[in-house]
Structure 1
Amino acid sequence: MSALGELRSMKRTGDGASPAASRGRKQNRAAFLFLLPWFLGLFLITIGPMAASLVLSFTRYNLLSPPRFNGIDNIVRMLEDGRLHKSIEVTFQYVFISVPLQLALALLLAVVLDRGLRGLSFYRSAFYLPSLLGASVAIAMLWRQIFGVDGLVNQVLAFFGIEGQGWISSPDTALGTLMILNVWTFGSPMVIFLAGLRQIPVMYYEAASVDGAGRWQQFWRITMPMLTPIIFFNLILQIIGAFQSFTQAYIVSGGTGGPIDSTLFYTLYLYDRGFANLDMGYASAMAWLLLVIIAAFTALNFWASKYWVFYDDQD
């Protein structure tokens, strides 16, 4: 190419930039434009409100007047708040009982479905459906009717001559009904378990059968160790989701957390302080405490995973 041609090419592509560099800049601009909505959502919907919540957690703010800085008063209030302590207790019971039961049921059904049942796609979809609807207002209202005094549970018990009770109105059983609801939404972890089971090489089971291992031994010696990464993944997701549960308790208890605060989830009490009592500064401090609790349990699970989670690339 002549010197004149090179000069014209440089003028067309910019200040001495090559055509390849020019195309690269155009592609970068296009990529940025496509990512711009995500960045706007990240900063305006996630990072921005989180930063505002952190600032408000050190203030006294009722939504009607400007926030006033009060230092660590909200933290001191949390240490002395009996209802807050009760909500933490209720939430811990809900998480530590319902999540293991949910995962156990999900794994059991995944193992059954993995045996190649006819109509597998139908069962997989049918079992997954509760995961989509379990946190909805409609299902919570239905649950309230099922466990009511004249609900389906008492009708079934009456058929067998057993006198029922108000399962939701009793402080001894109200939380248990919400645990059953959470266990019922086993579809999402079940589908993940089923995908994990399909990834276990068949040759492992064939070799174990040749060595005389039964199904039970194969399950504990092959299936469970190979599934530990999937179990760990589901455990993290379900614990985080359980700590954030709100709709079920709000609808079933009528927004009060009753009876006698037996269904007072942490998020429900947070909502009560922030929106029912307009104590938004205190509610912001509670929100950050919840973030710390979830982060602590997540970090603890990651630390403990090195003792029970096994990967294929491990020696």
Structure 2
Amino acid sequence: MDVQITRMNGQTMKLSDINVQVQDFRVGSIEMRPTYIDVEGASGRISTGSTYGVRNITVPFYFKAQDLLDVAITRDKLFEMILSTEPFYVRELRRLEYQNGDNLIVSGKRYKVNTSSTFDIDQQLKYGFGELEFETADLPFAESIGKSSDIQRDGVNPGSGLWGAGMGIISDPASRVYKHKAVAGQRFQIFNPGNIPVHPFEQELKITISDVAGSTAGFMLKNHTNLSTATITSALYITDTIIYSGPNIGRNGLSFLRNTKKDFIELVPGWNTLEVFNCTSATIEFDFRFYYK
């Protein structure tokens, strides 16, 4: 086993680079945070739902030093690699069989984490043993390294390292199209392989609207699957490019939020059926990562 660490600046390294051998990569379930309301005079309580908390990842490890002095050197290299004031991404590698073959990337998923506790090295002669503990930063979900734009451009290439088993990707060619020439009165579909909804305020979601024809009184994009909408209140022209990037909305590089109803498209897991209104046609492109429990 091994662990790949990627800094926010793109620098990538593995624990095996400093001769640290990973014994396991234990991903815990996500903490659930239920909320309740107590009603005076009534038995029990009323559930008002739950939210996701944090997720813990534990990595036991060991290393064999060349001599007793090398134990301290390897320890300090590990401190340099792991300790950081900013979050970083971790990704697991495993062999197909126990102690046989090379470590392979498990899938195209990664976790954004911080180190959650201190650790030390249990030295036994030239061996050192320890355990790393991480907790998720920001969202507790695994996220895809690749985006829908990668699939739109290159398809699903198993050799790219971006995709793998267990990511919900299906073979239907329609599921790999994220740029559509939408026509009024005709619905089109966007496929979200993840098992977590994608909300522009919480996750990466970029929608580009261009080549809008026949818009004289605004524009609307509607997701019929969850009834979310993105509504523009002013007319658009075929030369305009509207970009919804998270909570930000721009037209031709300038802020455009005030010309909208401040509503946003969300995506559910699986198929999403969408349609454009108040125009005759438009080009719609989705670019987002996929998220997993």
TM-score range, shorter chain: under 0.3
| Higher strand residue share | 2
| Higher helix residue share | 1
TM-score normalised according to structure 2 size: 0.21
Which structure ranks higher in relative contact order (CA pairs < 8 Å, sequence separation ≥ 6)? 1
TM-score normalised according to structure 1 size: 0.19
Larger radius of gyration between Structure 1 and Structure 2 = 1
